[in-house]
Amino acid sequence: MGRRKLLTLATFNVNGIGTRLGHLLAWLEREQPDVVALQELKATDEAFPVDALEAAGYGALWHGQRSWNGVALLGRGVVPQESRRGLPGEPADRQSRYLEAAVHGILVGALYLPNGNPQPGPKFDYKLRWMRRLARHAAGLVDLPHPVVLMGDFNVIPTDGDVYDAKAWRKDALIQPEVRAAYEDLLAQGWTDALHAHCGDAAPYTFWDYFRQHAERDRGLRIDHLLLNRALAPRLVEAGVDRWVRLQQKASDHAPTWIRIAAATPAKRARKQARAAATPDKPGAPARTARRNPSA
């Protein structure tokens, strides 16, 4: 049997695409991920650096917002094929937090879940509502025959093993029992938390705040997650966090969090095509016409 081809999928909260463009480009150059979800662009659609990313070999799809939020999807050598922007269920919600597209044969839901602080309060209520909307939408994706990943900054510390000091964070929205329960309910649909599945209790942190040299001392949180649906989970090969990005000067407070998955085997592709032919009206099937980026 020959060496299997791998795909790298990563999520990175850049905390401002304008301030962090240099960090992002250096990381893309070094790690060459195939699919990337970005959060906290903090930039309008007009300010998104599409030219610099294209020059780096990445096609992009983005949903910006002035000052806050903002999400994007990058495809190495391809432009992601959009299937949805924004979660259903709250039409008045104008915050740019969800973008979904087909990239390299995977349906990717890229998300920036509300932080929810201070808690309790209206922002925490919004977070819980947003999690319910996400769960409702995710329920329609978990059993698709097609590979699906939900990845991004979930702003959820799943267990006390995912924080350097649970007591120090006990009043924070990221650790509240209601938030953890909502995350557990989502996993119970059949999603696999890829870093936990691969690393167990030794799963690395993905975020370190700017206080007291927490990054250098590895006093962090695991809040950036990649959830795999039933079709994709068996293909998980490796998972990790590029902590070196966080240790640079003027870094984002998050580090890129990634998985490697095996490319679909010819046999699996054939079965998948047979299933697709049997159910032609299933939602979420990716466009097979992703445009090649000429610069790649």
Partner DNA sequence: ATGTCATCAACTTGATGA
Looking at 34, 153, 193, 253, which residue is catalytic?
Answer: 153
Asked if residues 11 and 37 have their Cβ atoms less than 8 Å apart, the reply is yes
Known catalytic membership, residue 210: no
Q: Which of the stretches 23-31, 76-84, 110-118, 227-235 binds DNA when contact is defined by CB under 7 A? A: 110-118
Q: How far is the CB of 173 from DNA (least distance, A)?
A: 9
Is the CB of 211 or the CB of 294 nearer to DNA? 211
State which H helix or E strand residue 262 sits in: strand 257-262
Answer yes or no whether residue 247 interacts with DNA by CB under 7 A: no
Known catalytic membership, residue 112: yes
| Alpha helices (H) in the chain, listed in sequence order | 17-31, 50-55, 122-138, 177-188, 194-199, 243-246, 266-278
Give the separation between CA 48 and CA 42, rounded to whole angstroms.
9
Judged by CB under 7 A, the number of residues near DNA is 20
Asked if residues 7 and 34 have their Cβ atoms less than 8 Å apart, the reply is yes
Is the CB of 170 or the CB of 269 nearer to DNA? 170
Compute CA 3 distance to the chain's CA centroid, rounded to the nearest angstrom: 27
Instruction: Find the binder of DNA among 1, 3, 67, 92 (CB under 7 A).
Output: 67
Q: How far is the CB of 114 from DNA (least distance, A)?
A: 6
Give the separation between CA 25 and CA 39, rounded to whole angstroms.
15
Instruction: Find the binder of DNA among 114, 158, 240, 286 (CB under 7 A).
Output: 114
Give the separation between CA 71 and CA 86, rounded to whole angstroms.
10
Q: How far is the CB of 151 from DNA (least distance, A)?
A: 17
Instruction: Find the binder of DNA among 66, 94, 217, 271 (CB under 7 A).
Output: 66
Q: How far is the CB of 5 from DNA (least distance, A)?
A: 36
Looking at 98, 112, 183, 205, which residue is catalytic?
Answer: 112
Q: Which of the stretches 71-79, 83-91, 205-213, 277-285 binds DNA when contact is defined by CB under 7 A? A: 205-213
Asked if residues 44 and 76 have their Cβ atoms less than 8 Å apart, the reply is no
Structure tokens at 272: 């998948």
Q: How far is the CB of 267 from DNA (least distance, A)?
A: 43
Instruction: Find the binder of DNA among 18, 140, 234, 283 (CB under 7 A).
Output: 18
Answer yes or no whether residue 289 interacts with DNA by CB under 7 A: no
Burial 219-230 (b: 16+ CB within 10 A, else e): bbbbbbbbbbbb
Q: How far is the CB of 156 from DNA (least distance, A)?
A: 13
3-state SS record for 85-98: ECCCCCCCCCCCCE
Instruction: Find the binder of DNA among 3, 5, 250, 288 (CB under 7 A).
Output: 250
Asked if residues 262 and 6 have their Cβ atoms less than 8 Å apart, the reply is yes
Residues 115-174, interacting with DNA (CB under 7 A): 115, 117, 123, 168
Asked if residues 29 and 171 have their Cβ atoms less than 8 Å apart, the reply is no
Answer yes or no whether residue 248 interacts with DNA by CB under 7 A: no
As annotated, the active-site residues are 112, 153
Interacting residue ranges for DNA, rule: CB under 7 A: 15-16, 18-19, 40, 42, 66-69, 114-115, 117, 123, 168, 209-212, 250
